[in-house]
Amino acid sequence: MLADNYHLIKTNIDKAARKAGRKPEEIKLIAVTKSATLEDTLEASKLGITHFGVNRVQEETVKVEKLPAVNWHFIGHLQRNKVKYIMPFYAMVQTLDRLSLARELERWAEKNDREIDVLVQVNISGEESKFGLDPKELSSFLDQARGFKRLKIKGLMGMAAFVNDPEEARPYFRRLRQLRDDSVAKGLALPELSMGMTNDYAVAIEEGATMVRVGRALFGW
């Protein structure tokens, strides 16, 4: 079943990319392991998935330890006291949304003698309940975050508002892409756009997503 789900998602990614005149290889599937079992997570890796997304640190440690060779992405709200657990294992933190967190990431990157890729999370839906920077603060935040030598800012991450029709998510994705393009126009290199989940990843790809974070459609919860 997992294999079937994976092939369907890959087909959909291909279709959405071609529809938008893009190459499917430009889009990374991030398998979100949330409520997936360890067995299913290992199975997903055997199928060839190389990027995994996690939104809670301690709950997912076993999975991370069993699969040291894949790329782990942290996609949840990150508390500063959890950064020390992230740093030895994760390739990327997708949810940088405040300077206090940037400082803590820099500090632990130094202790681990490494650099870490990050995405800046932007609250594109404007919902109070969602984390992420206010789009108005993005430009000055990027200026300040660039001062952290061990943080490699690769792009932006965002979530659409919850909508029934994926088409209604399109304006949110367009907004994030526009914010990225504005920053690029000011001379920043921000190649990655992490947007789109089970319900709306095809639309996100049409709007320029380079990473889609998919849980339910893959693991079937």
Ligand X SMILES: *Cc1c(COP(=O)(O)O)cnc(C)c1O
- Our CB check for ligand X shows the closer of 75 and 203 to be 75
Whole-number minimum distance, CB 221 to ligand X, in Å?
7
156's enclosing H/E stretch is strand 151-158
Is the CB of 34 or the CB of 51 nearer to ligand X? Answer: 34
Cβ distance to ligand X smaller for residue 34 or 107: 34
CB of 187 to ligand X, least distance (A): 29
- Site residues (CB under 6 A) for ligand X? 32, 34, 55, 75, 197-198, 213-217
Nearer to ligand X, 51 or 107 (CB): 51
Our CB check for ligand X shows the closer of 75 and 96 to be: 75
HEC-encoded secondary structure of 165-176: CHHHHHHHHHHH
Q: Kindly state the smallest distance separating residue 141's Cβ from ligand X, in Å.
A: 19
Q: Which residue is nearest to ligand X (CB)?
A: 215
Q: How far is the CB of 35 from ligand X (least distance, A)?
A: 9
Write the burial class of residue 5 (CB in 10 Å: 0-12 exposed, 13-18 middle, 19+ buried): middle
Q: At a CB cut-off of 8 Å and minimum separation 6, what does 174 contact?
A: 207
Query: Least Å distance between CB 21 and ligand X?
Result: 25
* Burial class of residue 136, CB neighbours in 10 A (0-12, 13-18, 19+): exposed
Query: 134: left (phi > 0), else alpha (psi -120 to 50), else beta?
Result: beta
